[in-house]
Each structure stands twice: as C-alpha cells, then as structure tokens.
Structure 1
Amino acid sequence: MKRWLFLLHRWAGILLCLVIAAWFLSGMVMMYVGYPKLTQAEQMQGLAPLPAAGCCVPIEAALQAAGLKEASQWRLASVAGQPRYFFSDGRKRVVTVDALSGLPVEALSEADAVVAARHFAAGANAVSLGPVHEDAWTHSRALDAHRPLHRVAVDDAEQRWLYLSSATGEVVRDASFTERSWGWLGAWLHWLYMFRGGALNSWWTDIVIGLSLAGTLLGASGMVVGIWRWRFNGRYKSGSRSPYRGWMVRWHHVLGLLGGTLALTWMISGLLSVNPWKVFDAEGPKPDRLAYAGGPLQAQTAVPAEQVLRQLAAEGFAPRQLEWRRIAGANYVWAQNASGTRLLDERGQVLPAGIEPAKLVEAAARMLPSANIQAQQWLHAYDAHYYAREAHTMTGQRERPLPALRLVFDDPQAHWVVLDPASGAVLQTSNRLQRIERWLFAFLHSFDLPQLLALRPLWDSWMLSFSLMGLGLSLSGVVMGWRRLRVKSLRSVKPQQAPGVKAM
C-alpha cells in the first residue's frame, strides 16, 4: 500500500506540479490585478447626463418600436451623448430605440463604435481594433447578447481597450493596459482560459474539474507520505527527522508538512468554485423575482421619462441612467449618476427614505408563497455572508449597499433574501447549500471574512506567505520531477555493453 501511494505521489507530482505552481503564482497576481470588468462606477463616469428638456418619446411607443413581446428590463441611457432606450428580456436579447426619434437603432458600425468610445473616454483619441466575437478578456456569458463586440483602443491614462455592444452601442467592458498585461499571468492563467473560446471550449469545465481533482489527490497523498516519512520520535542516521539527504527533496518534505494542509484545502476550494456535479444546487422552489415585482412592467402605468427628468432637474440632480422597476405591483424609477442615486415613485416624486420596509417584506413574502418569513435582520455592517470586495476581485462588481434588510425564510432550503430599501432591489438570494459553498470555496480560497479583509496589510502578508509556500512546494516538485525524468531518459539511451567486452 505504501509503495503504491509513494508511486502515485511521485508520478502525479511530475504531471501536475507545474500546473499547481501556475495556480499559486497567478493567484498572487489576482490579489492585486483582476480580470477586466466594467464596474457600475466606471459606467456612470463614461455616460453623458440625460437632457432635462426635449426627451423623450413615450416609453409605450418605444416598446412598440422595439418589437419585443416581453421585456423584463427597461433602461434609458446614452450612446455618444444621444439618449436611447434599452429593452432586454434578460441575457438573450437586447434591443435599442432612439429616445428622440422613437426609431429602432441598427447594429453599431465600426465607425460609430469609435465615436461612441471616444465620447465614453471623455474625448480621448480612439482607434478601432476591429470586431471580435470573443477574446481573452470577454469570455463572460453575460456578454452573449452583445456579440459581436467592437474593440476600440483609447489613448487615456489607463490605455484601455473598450468593448462596445454591436446591438446597443454601449460600452460593456473595459480592459486597461495593466489588466491586459498582468492578466495573462493572473486570471487568464489561473482560470485556465487557454482552453476557452477554441476547440476545447465545451470541455473547459471538465478540464478544470479534472485537474483540480488530480491536484487534490496529489496533495492528500503528499500529506500522508510526508507524515509517514517524518520521524516524530528519534532521528535518521543523518541526524535529521527527514530521510532525504538532498536539500531540494528535504525542503519539499518540510514545506509539505508546514503548508500541505493549506495547499490541500486551497485545491479543494478551487475545485468547488465551479460547482462540480451541481453539488450546491438545491432542489425545490427558488425565490420568484417576478412575484416580488407583482407582475411584469407595464408601459401604460410607467412613469414617463420626460416627467422623471424634469422632476430631477428641478432638484438639481442630473441622471445618467434611468431604470424602471416594479415592486409589489407599484412602479418606480431608479436614477443614477456618477455621484449618487434617486428613487422616484409612480407619481414621479423622489423618495428620500426609499421604500417602506413593511412594503418590501410584503413583496418578498410572495417570492416563496409556501414558506414563512421567520426573521428580519437589518444589516448596518457587513457580515460573513453579505459583504463587498474590491472592484478588481472576482465578485467586486456586485453592489452591496448598506443598510440592507435580510429576510430569513423557513422553507426546506432555508432561503435568505437581502433587499435594498433605497432602491427596492433584490441584492442577494441564498439557500443553505450556497452558504456552505461560501465557506468551502470563498473563505478557504481567499480568507475573505470582512474582519480579515479589514486587517490589511496583515491579510496580504498571510495570503502571500501561504501562496509562496505553495509555490515553493510545487516548484520543488517540478525540479525533482525534471531530474527524475532526465535520469530515466539518460539510462534509456545509454548503450548496452556486450558480455565479455571491456569498455574503452
């Protein structure tokens, strides 16, 4: 048994240590440079203020021009300074209507993309890099409704590439020079994106699962072998507690004992990040957001854009985007600009205090009609399940405003729903399995408790220390594997000496 375990660890290490070293190295890069994304703040900064007068055609006429049977998302923003309605049925299709003429907008041309990008980048010089369906920085499925994308390089301080939707003309992603350069050594390498977008694209998840599983077996076998070979009582003839004489092998043994548990849990948490075999998918009913809304948006009762813009202008607020919402059967408009937000009710009046908590609770109760709300928790500070990360991190684009209202349901899946009283938005839904995933993936992979994240640079020191230990452990395995393969290769090519013949 021991011999087979030794052989498993040795040959698995030869095959996998380079991959694991790449994961540790890229993980350290991702602590400071993440995968490109367009944050809400970046989007608002690039949009022009909507005109307070002369805008816009009635939303009912715009919806009719869009030709969508169902549109669950209605927005008003601008492209190259021109106001436009955007109607979407989710992630599958999005249609644009000129808010001044009421006519549908055709697919964005390359020349128009350069104009829109220049306007978004505050007048910086812009050069088209040509259309692209998907490249290293646009693998997200959230962009599918916008493909193909126009890629435009802008000469601003960050030397960004802007990706514009061919369907709407909006900038849907930006990638700075720092993100594009370090990204190859960071997120692109860490997430094995060399297997995305090509012939192996459909196998990407299976490749990640397979390599993570193999890495987990390698780590577990290494821990067992390391403990077997360590003399806790007494020493070997060399005077060491480790039987290995070479410094490289000995350090590999010691590093494995010191950091092997962390490396193993890191491999396991990386495996769980892709939800293998749907282990975190709960059966049973899920929170129904349409029930929370009280039905689909209705143009006949929607607050007119012209009224909203006029009201906000009177209050000195210049919105850059309007979004129509429906909560508990009532209509609202959520207005945003680069410095703040406003919520207007169905009469077009600003609600400084947001939506009444009782109304939110009443609407949320409809999301799971077979369950009861057993607890209401006001969140005035972040906790282990509701917290924000820096913008460059994997979940940094998620809005996590405070205060927020968490509702705890008594259904078999133990759902939690977090609501924003300022906007009425459903900020987060989770069930019991998803909260377990939070600990097994997010915590074990990045130790992202708000209390720990607040202790920077101590958090950085901890993350870098164990990552460097894992990098040293895997790189020493690479060197040892290379040496063993080289020795075996030399032995296999060494000429065989005939019996009775002396070597010259």
Structure 2
Amino acid sequence: MGMSLKRLLFLAHRWLGIVLCAFFAMWFMSGMVMMYVGYPKLTDDERLAHLPVVDGAGLLAPSIALANAGLAGPLKELRLAAASAGRPAYFVTPDGPRSGHAMVVVDARTGRRVPGTNEARALASARAYAGPNVALRYAGTVDEDAFTHSRGLDAHRPLHRVMVEDAEGTLLHISGATGEVVRDAPRTERLWNYAGAWIHWLYPFRGNAFDRYWADIVNWLSIAGIALALTGTIAGILRWRFRRPYRSGARTPYPGAMMRWHHIGGLLFALTTITWIFSGLMSMNPWHVFDGGAAPLRMAALTGGKLDPATLDATPAPLLAGGNVRELRWTQMLGQTLVLAQPATGRPAVLDARAAQPVSIDGTALQMAAAGLLGHPVRRIERLAAYDLYYYSRDAHTMTGGSAKPLPVLRVVFADPQESWVHLDPHTGAVINRSDRHKRWSRWLFAMLHSWDWLPLLERRPLWDAVLIGLGLGGTVMSVTGIVIGWRRLGRKLGAASRAPERKETKAVS
C-alpha cells in the first residue's frame, strides 16, 4: 500500500472517529440497556390481563347491533370486549374496496356507534384497565410522543394520555378512535427508555421537523459507522507488529494509555462492532432490500368465504357462559363461522358461532386448504413441536418479542419463486406469520447478528447475557477512548488555528 493511500486511510478514520465515536458509545451503552428494558409496548398478554370480564347480560346479537349501526357487507374483523370505557362493545373493521378498513366501535347493548374518544371516555377506559381504586389524572392529548413513535399506532391518533397513580406510575395512551388502551408505560420503563431504545434508535429525530429524514439519518450514519470501523480495523492491523515488536517492546506503537487501549480494543472488538453496526442498518430494511415482492395470500382458500354480519344472529351470552372471557373474536375458517373465546391467559376456546359448542379444526382439511394460499405447489408441510432457527419466541420487551408464538404449528413450504413459508396455528387455523427468502435473510443479517438470538445461546442464559455485555463493554471502551483521542486532537487543531493569527501579527510588528 502506497504511503499516500495509507495516509488517506488514517485521516479518514481519524476524522470519521471524531464525528462518530460518540454515536458508537451511545449505541453500545443503550444496546445493553435494551437487553433488559425495551421500547414501551402493550403486549397481547398485558392487554388481556387488564381487560374486564365481558358481561353477557342484555347484549345484542352482532347482526342486530351492526344493522342498528348501519353496517352491512363483509367484515375483515369483528370482536367483542369491554375495552372502550369499560362497556361491552363490538369492534368492527369492514372489508371491501370502499370500506377504508377504518375500525368502527358499536355499543353491544344499544347498537349505537360509539363516538370518538373524549376526556370522559379516556378516563373510563383507564379506570377499567387500572382498576376501581386507583387515582387517575388526565394529561391531555398528543399526536406522537417519545413512547408512541410506532407506525402501528397511526390509526389511533390523536392519543389521550392518562397518568395512573399506582406504585409503578404508569402512563396510559388511549386510542382517539376506539377508546381502547393501546400503550402502557410504567415510570421505570419510561426512564430507562431514554437511556435505551429512544436514544438507540435516534428517536430524538422523530415527531419533529426531522421526522421525514429519520430513516435516511439512521441509514447514512450506519454506513458511515461501518466505514469508520473498517478503516480503523485496517489501520489497526497495519500498525500492529505481529513479528517484530517496536523499540519499546510493545506490539503497538502508541505509548499513551488512551491510544494504546483504543488500538488494542479496536482490534479485539472490530468484528463485533462491524457486525452490530451493519445489522443495525439491516434492521431498517434500507431501500427495501428485504421486500421480496411475494403475492398476497389468498385467504379465501383457508377461510372459505368472508365474515357476513347478517348470519351472526346468535346472541353472545352463551359464548360467554364459561366465565372469565375477556374477548370474543369471530372468524371464518374452512367455510365455518367460529368464535375464539379468549380468557385472561392461555389459548382461546374455539366455539361454533351458533351452537356455542367447542369445535376442533380438521387438521387434514386445514392442510388441504392451506395448499391454495399462494396458487403454487406445496413442497412439504412440517409440524413443529418446538422452536427452531426461524420460528421462535423472544422476551416480550425485545424488538421482535411480545407477539404470540404458539406451539405446535404447521409450516407450509411453497415452491413459489420467493420460497414462501406460512405458519398456521392448528388450534385456530389462523395464519401466524409468513416469510420468504428475503425475510429469512433479514432474520440472519439483523436478528442473528444484532441480538444474537441463536436458540442454543438464548436457552443458556446467563451465558447469552455475559457474552453480549462483555462485548458491549469492550465496544464502549473502544468508543470512549476514541472520543477522548478525537477531542484532544481537535482541541490541539483549534488551539493551533487560534494561535496562527497571533504569530502572524507578532511577526508583522517585529
């Protein structure tokens, strides 16, 4: 390597480091926080645990309630819960090209449409969620704040905020459209969030004038970070004496502690630093590299038709007879109308919508129907009784955790150009998720490299914790020494620049 190119390499690393080492230190430290406290979310388990038991007295059949509300035609979603102001209500999402798929809330006892959320309704929903003996304080509305940047909340904005005066100091966000609690954030979670996910994902650039540039900021900072780490690795290898030590007897040429620790730390933690910055970039799906363009699933092959409200003429009271039911969800499966009766914990009971009797999904019929989901041949259907590399569960607070990953499941492997997989729940017949070749690449390039969610390691905690914390601390040392070195050099440069005019003036006078 010529001297000019080597000099350029050193300069590039030096000046990139002055700008980016602070981001590196921030990412390492906030990443360690996120191992234990994630970005606030309301998981299904939390939501169900706080929902009141549905009282079936005086409830109208769905067909009558929806007709009173002026809703006709096929439905995309229909569920019953006491989630809006603590009163039983039907949560309805119409289907069809002109429906807009906007959710409508219908009072289950009167059939009247429930209007948008106001302060009184928000407080009533918070009361139902938190319990009768806890003080509440209404904190106004917000379109987006530090805890609600998720695009999944867009349909619920503006959000009403209610502070719960409980031991955890919980902040509730309540949907302005449906009146449901859509996010809970205890005080400890909120405080750690500022040292964790909020700063790790550069959320100071969200919800303000920089919002439209947020993804580009994260992407280009990550790319610059990769360049910094690569140039530092090459420079570190070039300056390390593998065969013959320097005159000092050391393998590193730097006598100062900061430079020496930075050199050694950079070589030790270069690979993990590069993989973490690169995998962080992959988490953004930059420029849609993981969008495979697969055709949408033909759900009619599985459901046998759309949910028709006119046929739902049975009152829900018998479906609630078992007690402790927090939510009913109507669904169409294999041409049959079913209801999933969900208790506070555990799997839902699968009931016939009219007879209110338990039913079992025909496994053979389900597999035959699943073959029509994509219009391509099925290579094989596997039954998973345990998690594997592509279907697994993470802790609820993690970025990919919090959603139900039941077992056993059916994995339907298609012979389409995108090599699609579809996971089905044999208990309910529902599609749990879908992946293709591009998304499985994302699993390796993001989830595996960034979170090390490799089952043999995850199942051997605290080994997983020790490995990631050790690497995180090493990266932090490398970054902090880089900050000190960079600012010292910048200070010398600025000091020399400020003294230059004085020297010129002195020379002119003399």
- TM-score under structure 2 length normalisation: 0.93
1:342-357 map, 5 Å:
342-351=349-358, 354-357=360-363
1:228 and 2:233 matched: no
Match of 1:6 among 7, 10, 23: 10
Flag structure 1 segments of 5+ consecutive residues without an equivalent: none
Opposite residue 44 of structure 2, the aligned amino acid is Q
User: How many angstroms apart in 2 are the aligned matches of 1:465 and 1:338?
Assistant: 39
Q: For residue 429 of structure 2, what is the aligned residue in structure 1? A: 424
Match of 1:45 among 42, 45, 49: 49
Aligned with 1:184: secondary structure?
Answer: helix
Deviations 1:215-243 (A, max 9, x none): 01111111111111111111011111111
1:358 CA drift (Å): 1.4
1:30 and 2:40 matched: no
1:323 CA drift (Å): 0.8
User: How many angstroms apart in 2 are the aligned matches of 1:60 and 1:359?
Assistant: 32
Match of 1:190 among 200, 205, 216: 200
Deviations 1:453-477 (A, max 9, x none): 1111111000101011111111111
1:425 CA drift (Å): 1.5
Aligned with 1:137: secondary structure?
Answer: coil
1:482 CA drift (Å): 0.4
For the 8 Å contact 1:80–1:120, the answer to whether it is kept is no
Structure 1 residues 57 and 331, CA gap change in structure 2 (3 angstroms): closer
Aligned with 1:348: secondary structure?
Answer: coil
For the 8 Å contact 2:53–2:323, the answer to whether it is kept is no
Q: For residue 328 of structure 2, what is the aligned residue in structure 1? A: 322
Structure 1 residues 284 and 36, CA gap change in structure 2 (3 angstroms): closer
Q: For residue 272 of structure 2, what is the aligned residue in structure 1? A: 262
Q: For residue 95 of structure 1, what is the aligned residue in structure 2? A: 104
Moved more, 108-117 or 169-178: 108-117
1:390 and 2:395 matched: yes
User: How many angstroms apart in 2 are the aligned matches of 1:286 and 1:86?
Assistant: 25
Q: For residue 54 of structure 1, what is the aligned residue in structure 2? A: 58
1:215 and 2:225 matched: yes
Deviations 1:269-314 (A, max 9, x none): 00000111111111342433354323321113337342xx31441x
Deviations 1:392-419 (A, max 9, x none): 1112221101111111111111111111
Deviations 1:9-43 (A, max 9, x none): 11011111101111111100101111111111111
For the 8 Å contact 2:37–2:193, the answer to whether it is kept is yes
Structure 1 residues 413 and 173, CA gap change in structure 2 (3 angstroms): same
1:150 CA drift (Å): 0.7
Q: For residue 496 of structure 1, what is the aligned residue in structure 2? A: 503
1:120-269 map, 5 Å:
120-123=129-132, 124-269=134-279
1:463 and 2:468 matched: yes
Q: For residue 81 of structure 1, what is the aligned residue in structure 2? A: 86
Q: For residue 335 of structure 1, what is the aligned residue in structure 2? A: 341
For the 8 Å contact 1:378–1:404, the answer to whether it is kept is yes
- Between the two proteins, the alignment pairs up a number of residues equal to 496
Q: For residue 472 of structure 1, what is the aligned residue in structure 2? A: 477
Structure 1 residues 391 and 287, CA gap change in structure 2 (3 angstroms): same
User: How many angstroms apart in 1 are the aligned matches of 2:47 and 2:237?
Assistant: 53
Opposite residue 337 of structure 1, the aligned amino acid is P
For the 8 Å contact 2:409–2:424, the answer to whether it is kept is yes
Structure 1 residues 330 and 392, CA gap change in structure 2 (3 angstroms): same
User: How many angstroms apart in 1 are the aligned matches of 2:344 and 2:409?
Assistant: 22
Structure 1 residues 356 and 245, CA gap change in structure 2 (3 angstroms): same
Structure 1 residues 499 and 156, CA gap change in structure 2 (3 angstroms): closer
Structure 1 residues 299 and 269, CA gap change in structure 2 (3 angstroms): same
For the 8 Å contact 1:301–1:331, the answer to whether it is kept is no
Aligned with 1:72: secondary structure?
Answer: strand
1:211 CA drift (Å): 0.5
For the 8 Å contact 1:53–1:310, the answer to whether it is kept is no
Opposite residue 351 of structure 2, the aligned amino acid is L
Match of 1:452 among 451, 457, 464: 457
1:364 and 2:370 matched: yes
Deviations 1:358-414 (A, max 9, x none): 122122212111x11111111111111111111111122211011111111111111
Match of 2:318 among 304, 310, 314: 310
Moved more, 288-297 or 431-440: 288-297
User: How many angstroms apart in 2 are the aligned matches of 1:148 and 1:482?
Assistant: 43
Q: For residue 485 of structure 1, what is the aligned residue in structure 2? A: 490
User: How many angstroms apart in 2 are the aligned matches of 1:205 and 1:70?
Assistant: 37
Flag structure 2 segments of 5+ consecutive residues without an equivalent: none
User: How many angstroms apart in 1 are the aligned matches of 2:229 and 2:330?
Assistant: 51
For the 8 Å contact 1:327–1:363, the answer to whether it is kept is no
Opposite residue 98 of structure 1, the aligned amino acid is D
User: How many angstroms apart in 1 are the aligned matches of 2:210 and 2:259?
Assistant: 36
1:342 CA drift (Å): 0.6
Aligned-residue identity in percent: 48
Aligned with 2:464: secondary structure?
Answer: helix
Opposite residue 45 of structure 1, the aligned amino acid is A
For the 8 Å contact 1:212–1:270, the answer to whether it is kept is yes
User: How many angstroms apart in 1 are the aligned matches of 2:315 and 2:44?
Assistant: 21
For the 8 Å contact 1:404–1:418, the answer to whether it is kept is yes
For the 8 Å contact 2:73–2:309, the answer to whether it is kept is no
User: How many angstroms apart in 2 are the aligned matches of 1:30 and 1:284?
Assistant: 33
User: How many angstroms apart in 2 are the aligned matches of 1:384 and 1:351?
Assistant: 34
For the 8 Å contact 2:318–2:356, the answer to whether it is kept is no
Name the Cα RMSD after superposition.
Answer: 1.9
